Amino acid sequence: MAQAEVKKQVDAQVAAQKKQAYAQAEAQATQMFATNPPQELLAAEQQAQAAAEAAAKQQVDQQFAAKFPGVPLETIPGYAAALDAAQKQAAAEAKAQVDAAALTQALAQAKAAIDAAFVKQQPAMQAALDAAQKQAKAQVDAAALTQALSQAKAAVDAALVKQEPAMAKALADAQAKAADAATSVVEKGFLDTAKLTPEQLTAMREFVALPVVSGITDNNKKADTVQTIINLGKTLPMTGQQQTINVSQTDLDKGIADIRENGGTIPLPAIGKTLLFLLLVYVLSALLTFVMQYIMSDVAQKTTYDMRRELDYKLAALPLRYYDMHSNGEILSRMTNDMDTISTTLQQGLTQVIVSVFQILGYIYMMLTISGKLTIVTLATLPLYILTTALIARKSQKFYRAQQVHLGRLSSHAEEMYTGHNVVKAFGHEQESIATFEAVNNNLYQAGWKAQFMSGIMFPLMNFISNLGYVFIAVLGGVYVTRNLLNLGDITAFIQYSRSFSMPIIQTASIANVIQSTMACAERVFGVLDEPEEKPDAEDAIVIAQPRGAITFDHVAFSYRPTEPLIADMNLDVKQGDTVAIVGPTGAGKTTLVNLLMRFYDIQGGAITFDGVETRKMRRGSLRTMFGMVLQDTWLFNGTIRENIAYGRDDATEEEIVAAAKAAHADHFIRSLPEGYDTVLNEEASNISAGQKQLLTIARVVLADPTVLILDEATSSVDTRTEVRIQKAMAQLMTGRTSFVIAHRLSTIRDAHHILVMNHGSIVEQGSHKELLAKHGFYADLYNSQFTGAAVTEEAV
């Protein structure tokens, strides 16, 4: 039986040793993987993480693409944050899986090696077992001795039982004497000036539970008794053990006062007041948050409203040169996309900044109440936060600026392709349009990716700085606790405050990235607001009360670019009522001449006079109301036909509108429409033909009744029959009015009083139709090129 017991003990010892070896191997493998992982493991982790991040990106892209079809993913709010979070989670899970598999494999190999080692030791262990079995007999003899000792102990116990009555009586006498002594001291009111430690305040209710106190019903007497017991000494028995408790006299007085007030029980009324106070605080916080959101929404929208209004005023005051140099899509992008970004940041970002500032101040105050030195250590991390934020913001600013520029170009291209999609399809340039879009979109992607990457590294760096401060606080806090400068509870509370202190800073730093994008948008908006406007009129600018229409060009010089002169030393004298036709090849300066007449551009040399008054001395608005224009590119706004015709005169009556339409031969087709004059023209007026749009613009000029007419290929979009009718209407309209007619079809200007032939910005020929044909010069060549095969002579025309 003894031999079997020995073998059992040996087997148990072997099993314990093997279990210990397994545990040591597992601990060593875990530590190695954590501190010095093999290169093969690192490579496997990286490969698994890359695959997991790619899968996560694909899943996020599919989700956002389904939710926002056709929208570039990088421009969708929240896409970058969602992608970053999904990739981080997927990478962490992949790394954990690889590490677990590698650790399992290593432990299996270590266990096999341990098992092999124990197999090799079996002979030695068997020898030890044989030796142990030989000693079993000696252990049996020892058991007999143990039994003898037990019998001796029983005999001693029996002897002690016989003395029990005497011992019980002696113990009762000692207890009675101690009770009498204690009662005597309490009754005499013996007082001691000993003070207690801070822990004694929490133990005060232990005193109330003492038998000598618990039976007292009067609170004042109970308080006096507790005071007497406390003053007996510094060492008091509590909860079955001896503890030394020291408190200040002030805290002791508060504890005694509490006993007098409520007998040492839990003060439920006070707790109720505290809960009510907290409830009021939370309600007040909610109300203040509501008020803040209301105010900030109003501030943000009012600011955006004012900025949009200023931008609209600015666009109305900019010279024509600005619109010639910027596309419509670029201008619309600044008015819409950039302004929306500014509005969103003002409403959300500014609110968060204000809340964060108050939170930071609150946490600083709470930390100061615990330890000023530790607070200084915590505040020492602020320069690191500020420096990191400033560096990343400066780096990302240029990428955000480029992103907005490319977004404007993308909007411009999309607007151009949409308005001209018929032409694109007609000429089969779909692929070229797609290629252009791809190039612009790729530029936007590159700029957006770089901007988002720079913004993405902000949060990890902020977390690193926060953890760095946490380490410093933990180390210094431990030192303070060991030196009894602060207790453990204070350090725990301070660490919580320091962690909370970093959160609003990190949130503010994250908002700094959004502010960078907003600043890029603001730069583009303020870039428009800073553009030079048309020179304001002088205070003594002249307004001609009864204009006649006599116009003179006196040595006029003009150029769009200083190095490329367009018009040089032009001289022209137009009398009231003259019809002046301007002809010439493309780029000759015909349209520029009209722009100079209306002061869309100011000349660089010479002078242009209107009824003897130099146009630069006249009020610009008054000058332009004297002109009526019918351009080759018609412009009609989204509104009714009646509103479009009356655009030149707001006070026009219905009869005048109809008369103008009849004069322009537009009344017939207007009345054929289902809604007549109330027909609403859509964007680009695409619900009527190009010829009908031209007729409406002519009707608009007829109604305006200007002093000077400017017709730039006014009949280019109508058929020949309609052109004849319009020419008759124009002839009647131009009677007694100074008119400038820009034409490419020379057949439409044969009746003009004066024809200017322009080439390279200069008037190369001028005269009547017959005079110019007789010269056989530049005009005759132009005319003959349009009527090839016809014998053109002065008699023939």
Look at residue 176 and tell me whether its pLDDT is greater than 50: no
Q: Characterise 604 by phi-psi region: left (phi > 0), alpha (psi -120 to 50), beta (else).
A: alpha
Q: Which of 147-156, 311-320, 594-603, 769-778 has the lowest mean pLDDT?
A: 147-156
Predicted confidence at residue 119, as pLDDT, reads 65
Task: Look at domain 277-529 and name its CATH class.
Answer: mainly alpha
Which stretches within 625-747 are classed as H helix? 641-645, 654-663, 667-671, 690-704, 720-734
pTM of the model: 0.52
For range 569-583, the mean pLDDT: 87
For range 256-267, the mean pLDDT: 62
**pLDDT band, residue 170 (cuts 50/70/90):** very low
Pair of tokens at residue 141: 């003899």
For 627-643, what is each residue's pLDDT tens digit? 888 877 777 888 899 99
Residue 26 identity? E
In angstroms, the CA 225 to CA 182 distance is: 12
Look at residue 180 and tell me whether its pLDDT is greater than 60: no
For 21-45, what is each residue's pLDDT tens digit? 667 766 776 776 667 677 776 777 7
Domain ranges for the chain: 2-134, 181-263, 277-529
Judged by DSSP in three states, 467 sits in helix
Q: How far is CA 755 from CA 62, 589, 595, 724, 729, in A?
A: 66, 14, 18, 20, 21
What residues contact residue 752 under an 8 Å CB cut-off, 6+ apart? 579, 580, 581, 741, 768, 769
Predicted confidence at residue 280, as pLDDT, reads 92
Look at residue 592 and tell me whether its pLDDT is greater than 60: yes
Burial 443-456 (b: 16+ CB within 10 A, else e): bbbebbebbbebbb
Judged by DSSP in three states, 463 sits in helix
Sheet holding 579-583, edge to edge: 627-630, 708-712, 738-742, 579-583, 754-759, 762-767
In angstroms, the CA 371 to CA 367 distance is: 6
Query: Which residue carries 């200040």 as its tokens?
Result: 248
Beta-bridge mates of residue 618: 542
Residue 662 identity? K
Look at residue 283 and tell me whether its pLDDT is greater than 90: yes
**pLDDT band, residue 1 (cuts 50/70/90):** very low
Predicted confidence at residue 284, as pLDDT, reads 92
Q: Which of 128-137, 305-314, 583-592 has the lowest mean pLDDT?
A: 128-137
Look at residue 598 and tell me whether its pLDDT is greater than 80: yes
In angstroms, the CA 628 to CA 697 distance is: 10
Predicted confidence at residue 159, as pLDDT, reads 44
Pairing of strands 708-712, 627-630: parallel
Predicted confidence at residue 101, as pLDDT, reads 76
Predicted confidence at residue 356, as pLDDT, reads 85
